[in-house]
Amino acid sequence: MLKTASNSSAIMLVKLTTFRISTITFAYLLACVIIYSLIYPICNFLYCLDDTSFSLLSQSWFPRTKFLGLIRWAYNWEVKGLSFIYRKMTNEGKTTEEIAVVLYNLRIEKREKYQLVTPTKERQEIYNRNLALYKDRIAPTLDYLRTVKAYTWEEIAAKAMTPDKETNKRFGVK
């Protein structure tokens, strides 16, 4: 059978109508676009100024706590977004161990990314705290979570998708 233009248009229309996106998913995707296109570059730019002789972040008039809160807010959005990956992997029939490892690694990537744009003084405080608590500069390792904390794979996956409330309070983020 020969395909005509109207035939391929009808097939395309069927494919488009079968792909539905929920309002919540759309809002999350829109927020991610805003974070990546606006907030993260601003944080990155201000971080670059932090290591120069004229440091904008060290000026008394600069709202340093607001800047740190902005970094934390953007990080929280990305961490909460891991729940979409969790649902996708669950629907694909992945094991809880596979899901937990993937989510843990994605959370670590996000943590490193935002630690790099955190001002030097606060970043060093974060590194020192993590070294004291977890013996790792970035975050607790999977081995630490499994052996010392005795978390199950489900708990590791759940924690990977949930921002830390105490840290949010310190930075004034709800």
pTM of the entire structure? Answer: 0.66
Domain presence at residue 108: yes
Range of the structural domain that residue 34 is part of:
21-170
Residue 107 vs residues 139, 159, 165: alpha-carbon distances, Å:
10, 10, 16
d(CA 142, CA 153): 10
Q: What pLDDT, on the 0 to 100 scale, is given for residue 37?
A: 64
Number of domains in the chain: 1
Structure tokens at 76: 């929280």
Domain presence at residue 61: yes
Q: Which residue type is seen at 71?
A: I
Domain presence at residue 49: yes
Are the CB atoms for 118 and 74 separated by under 8 Å?
no
Read off the pLDDT of each residue in 112-134 and give the average, rounded to a whole number: 88
Confidence of residue 89 (pLDDT cuts 50, 70, 90): very high
Read off the pLDDT of each residue in 121-132 and give the average, rounded to a whole number: 90
Query: pLDDT by residue (tens digit) across 146-174?
Result: 999 999 999 999 999 999 888 888 777 77
Domain presence at residue 40: yes
Domain presence at residue 105: yes
Domain presence at residue 163: yes
Q: What pLDDT, on the 0 to 100 scale, is given for residue 14?
A: 41
129 or 57, higher pLDDT: 129
Structure tokens at 104: 């843990």
Domain presence at residue 12: no
Domain presence at residue 4: no
Are the CB atoms for 67 and 114 separated by under 8 Å?
no
Look over the chain and give the mean of its residue pLDDT values, rounded to a whole number.
76
The set of long-range contacts for 49-52, using a CB threshold of 8 Å and a minimum separation of 24, is 50/119, 50/120, 51/120
In eight-state DSSP terms, residue 56 is G
Q: What is the CA radius of gyration of the chain?
A: 21
1 or 34, higher pLDDT: 34
